[in-house]
Amino acid sequence: MTLSILNRKFLNKKVQWITAILMTHLMFNVTCMDVLAHNPHDPVLGLGISPNFVNDKTLFVATYGELTDWSYPDILRSTDGGLSWTRLPNGMDNRAKFSSIRVSPHFSQDNTVFVTTVGNGAGVYKSIDRGDSWQSFNTGLINRHVMELEIAKSGTDTYVLFMAPGGGELYRSTSIQADWTKVLDPSGSPIGVIAASPDFMQDSTVMVARTTGNLLISSDGGAQWSDKGNPVIDGIIHDIAIAPGNAKEIFLATSEGVFYSDDWGDTFIQKPANLPIEAINNIAISPNYLIDKTVYCTTITQAVYKSINRGNTWWLHKSGAVVTGQALTKLAEFSELQISNTFSADGAVFLSAYDGLFISTDGGKVWSEKQTRQNLITGLAFSPSFKDDRRILATTYFGGGFYTSPNSGAKWTRSSPAGWEEISNKGQLSSFDVDFVQNHTGSPIAVVTSNHSRLGFSSDYGRNWNKVLSIPQFPEIASGNVYVNVIGLSPNFDIDQEIYLGSRIHGVLQSKDGGVSWRSTVEIPAKHDISSIVTSPNYASDKTAFAANSEGAVWRTQNGGDNWSRIGSDSILSLGNSKVFMWLAISPQFATDRLILVGTNNGIYRSIDGGDNWKQIANPKIGPSTVIQQIEFSPNFGSDNTVFVTVRGKGLYRLNMNSLGWVESTSNVGLSLLNKNIQFTEFRISPNFAQDATLIGASRTNVFLSKNGGLTWKETGHPE
C-alpha cells in the first residue's frame, strides 16, 4: 500500500469532518419524506425478502409477539408488500429470539424459508411451504446458538447455505442435504458476518468476518480459506457487501466507517466521503451495480444513506426510522438493510429497525412504514354473568384500546375514550390485560390497565369508564411510567379492594384501596417482566397470591402481599439463558387440593401443597422442552378435571387431570386452527363452561369461538 491505514484514517477523518459540514445543507435538500416515528415501537428482529418481490410482494419478519417484548417472538409473512401480516406459528416452538430469516433464491419454485435463533436449543428452522409449517434443521450441529445464516444460489434449482453458531465455527449445507458440515474450525472468536457473492454460481466466493475484525475469503465454496487479516486495524466489521463482477469489489461496514477493496480483499481504502464520523452498521449493493454503481448504508444514528458513485459521495434519504434507545445495542437500532433482487423493476429497498419496518420503492428516496402490530388483541375476559348477558371484553395493543362485545364476540364496539383523553390524544391506546371483579353484587365491574400508568373501572361492560386512576411512578425502583403486563384481582375485591399489578420493570405493585394508592414489593426483583399473577380463590382467608417473572422465578405471599418468598427455585428448571415467560394457574378447588401449575419453556410443573414442593409433569405433549404459553383450569375442575394448555408451535391441548395434578389424557383441540396459521395469544373459558362448553380465543386481530369444548371453532369477528 502507498499510504498506511493509520495515516489514511487520520487524514480521512479530517476530510470527513470538513465534508460533513459542507454537505449539511445539501442533505436537507435531498428529495425525501420524513415518516414520523411512532410509540409504541414496532421492533423488527429479522427480515427475509422474496427474490421475486416485484411479482409476489412476499416478506417475512421476526418480531415480538402480540404482547410485545414480554412474550416469545413470532415470524410473520406478508404477501402484499407489508400492508397486512399473517402469523406463522405451526411448529415454531422456539424459546429464544430470532437472529435471521433467509429466503431460498428459488422461492417461487421450492417455497423454502430458513429462520435461525440465538440462545440454546432451537437452532435453525426450515419451511418448505412458505412458512405455513416449520421443522428443525439441526442435524450435525452441536452448538445451536446461531448468529448468522446466508444463502448462495449455486444452480438453476440449487443453493448453498452457510451458517455460523456462536462458537467461532462455520457450517455448510445445500438444498439437497439434510444435515450440516463444518467447514471452518473455531479460532477463539465468533463469526459475526457472512456474505456470499451474488455471482456464486460462477465464482463460488463466500466471505466471513470474525468479531475480532479478521476477514476470511473462500473462492471454492468454503473448502479453503484465505485470512486477509483485519483491514480496519483495531476496528470491527459489522457487515459485508460483495458487488457483482467476480467478487473483486467489496464494501465493509465497520466501526471506523466504510472500507472498500477492488482487488478481492488484498487491499482496502477507507471511503468516508460525507458520512457521519461514527460506526456503519449495514451496507447493501444494488444488483445492478455494474451499471448504476449504487450502494446503501446506515450509520448507528442515521438511515438511510445512498451513493451512486461507488461510495465516493453519500446522500441521506431519511427513512423515518429513529433511534429509540430501547434496542439491545446501538447497532441493533437499524438491524438489516436489504435490496430487492428485482431492484431494476421495483426499486425496492428495505430497512428493518427497532422502530419498525421501512420500505422504499423508488430506490430509497421516499419511504413508508409498514405496521406489523396494529390493533392486536392482548386480553380477553368473559363477563361473570356471561350466561345471561353474553358479554366479552377485549384489550388491544397499538389500536383502539378497549372493546366490548354483546354477543359472544360476533360484534365489537370500541369503548368511549372518556377518562382516557390524556393518553388517546397523544396516540392510540394500548393495553395488555382486562378482568372482571368476581363475586360482585350488581352489574359486573370490569378492570383494565393502559400502557401508560392508568387503571380503569367500568360498570357497563366497558362501553364507558366511570373511573380512571393514575398509577404513581416509583423512581426508587425504576424511572418513568409503570407499564402493566397483568392484573391480579382479589376474589373478595368488593370488601378488601385489593389489586396486584405485574409490570415490565417495576416488579409487583399492590393496592388495598381500589387503586387509589400503591406500594411496591421489595422482595421480588425489579427489571424483570412479571408475566403472570394469580390470587387464591380463598384469598379472603388464606391471603395467598403467586407471581412469576421472566427470570424463571415463582414468588408467593401468604400474608396479603406484606412479604414474598421465592418458591421452587431448586425444582422449577427453565431452559437456556433467554427470557422465560412463565404462566401460573391455580385450581378452583385450591382450598382442598392445594394444586397450582406453572408453565415454563421446559414444560409444566405442578405443586399439590400450595407451592412448597414442585414436580415436573412428564407427559410428552406438555412436558420437558415444550414451551408453555397459557394454562387455564375449567371453573368446574373439581368435577370435570379439565385443564386447557397452549403449547407454543403445537396447538391448544385439553387435558384430563386428576386432583394430584397428573395428566390422564390429552387431546389437541387447536390443531385444526394451527394448520390455518392460528394459535391463540389469549384464550378464556366461559364461567358457565359446565353448561355451555364455550371457549374464546384471540389470534392477532381475530376472535374465535368454540361451543363444544374446543372440538370445532368458528371465527366470530374482530375489534376494529
Q: In order of start, what are the domains of the chain with their CATH numbers?
A: 5-370 (2.130.10.10), 471-717 (2.130.10.10)
pLDDT mean over 364-385: 93
pLDDT of residue 288 exceeding 60, the answer is yes
Residue 19's pLDDT is 36
pLDDT of residue 374 exceeding 70, the answer is yes
Say if residues 680 and 644 touch (Cβ distance below 8 Å): no
pLDDT of residue 15 exceeding 60, the answer is no
Q: Among 177-191, 593-607, 685-699, name the one with the lowest average pLDDT.
A: 177-191
pLDDT of residue 281 exceeding 80, the answer is yes
Length of the chain: 720
pLDDT of residue 481 exceeding 60, the answer is yes
pLDDT mean over 311-317: 96
pLDDT of residue 38 exceeding 50, the answer is no
Sequence-separated (6 or more) residues with CB below 8 Å from residue 152: 105, 159, 160, 161, 162, 196, 197, 200, 206
Please choose, from the candidates 44, 104, 83, 53, the residue with its C-alpha nearest in 3D space to the C-alpha of residue 287: 53
Long-range contacts of the stretch 221-226 (C-beta < 8 A, 24+): 221/154, 221/160, 221/172, 222/160, 222/162, 222/170, 222/172, 222/183, 222/184, 223/183, 225/184, 226/265
Please choose, from the candidates 680, 595, 678, 679, the residue with its C-alpha nearest in 3D space to the C-alpha of residue 633: 595
Q: Which residue has the higher pLDDT, 91 or 720?
A: 91
Say if residues 405 and 720 touch (Cβ distance below 8 Å): no
pLDDT of residue 718 exceeding 90, the answer is no
Residue 412's pLDDT is 94
Half-sphere exposure of 701 (CA within 13 A, CB side): 12
pLDDT mean over 357-363: 97
691 burial type by CB count under 10 A (0-12 exposed, 13-18 middle, 19+ buried): exposed
pLDDT of residue 8 exceeding 50, the answer is no
As a whole number of angstroms, the distance between CA 124 and CA 121 comes to: 9
Half-sphere exposure of 404 (CA within 13 A, CB side): 23
Q: Which residue has the higher pLDDT, 718 or 444?
A: 444
Residue 434's pLDDT is 96
Residue 17's pLDDT is 34
Residue 260's SS3 state is strand
For residue 392, the one-letter residue type is: I
Residue 417's pLDDT is 80
As a whole number of angstroms, the distance between CA 436 and CA 385 comes to: 10
In this predicted model, what pLDDT tens digit does every residue of 614-667 receive, in sequence order? Answer: 999 999 999 999 999 999 999 999 999 999 999 999 999 999 998 788 999 999
Task: Give 223's DSSP letter.
Answer: S
pLDDT of residue 28 exceeding 70, the answer is no
Please choose, from the candidates 437, 449, 445, the residue with its C-alpha nearest in 3D space to the C-alpha of residue 462: 445
Please choose, from the candidates 221, 224, 218, the residue with its C-alpha nearest in 3D space to the C-alpha of residue 265: 218
pLDDT of residue 30 exceeding 70, the answer is no
Residue 13's pLDDT is 36
SS3 content of the chain, % helix, strand, coil (to 5): 10, 35, 50
pTM of full prediction above 0.75 = yes
pLDDT mean over 157-174: 94
pLDDT of residue 331 exceeding 80, the answer is yes
Calculate the CA dihedral of residues 425, 426, 429, 430 and round it to 10 degrees. Answer: -170
pLDDT of residue 422 exceeding 70, the answer is no
pLDDT confidence tier of residue 70, bands split at 50, 70 and 90 = low
pLDDT of residue 6 exceeding 70, the answer is no
pLDDT mean over 224-247: 93
Please name the residue that has the C-alpha cell 477523518: 13
Residue 286's SS3 state is coil
pLDDT of residue 36 exceeding 50, the answer is no
Q: Which residue has the higher pLDDT, 246 or 684?
A: 684
pLDDT mean over 569-577: 89
Say if residues 552 and 525 touch (Cβ distance below 8 Å): no
Q: What are phi and psi of 290, to 5 degrees?
A: -60, -20
How is 503-523 classified by DSSP, letter by letter?
Answer: ESSS-EEEESSTTSS-EE-SS
pLDDT mean over 27-33: 34
Say if residues 115 and 125 touch (Cβ distance below 8 Å): yes
Residue 423's pLDDT is 66
pLDDT of residue 259 exceeding 80, the answer is yes
pLDDT mean over 32-46: 59
pLDDT of residue 5 exceeding 50, the answer is no
pLDDT of residue 45 exceeding 90, the answer is no
pLDDT confidence tier of residue 16, bands split at 50, 70 and 90 = very low
pLDDT confidence tier of residue 327, bands split at 50, 70 and 90 = confident
pLDDT of residue 328 exceeding 90, the answer is no
pLDDT of residue 137 exceeding 90, the answer is yes
pLDDT mean over 472-480: 93
pLDDT of residue 542 exceeding 70, the answer is yes
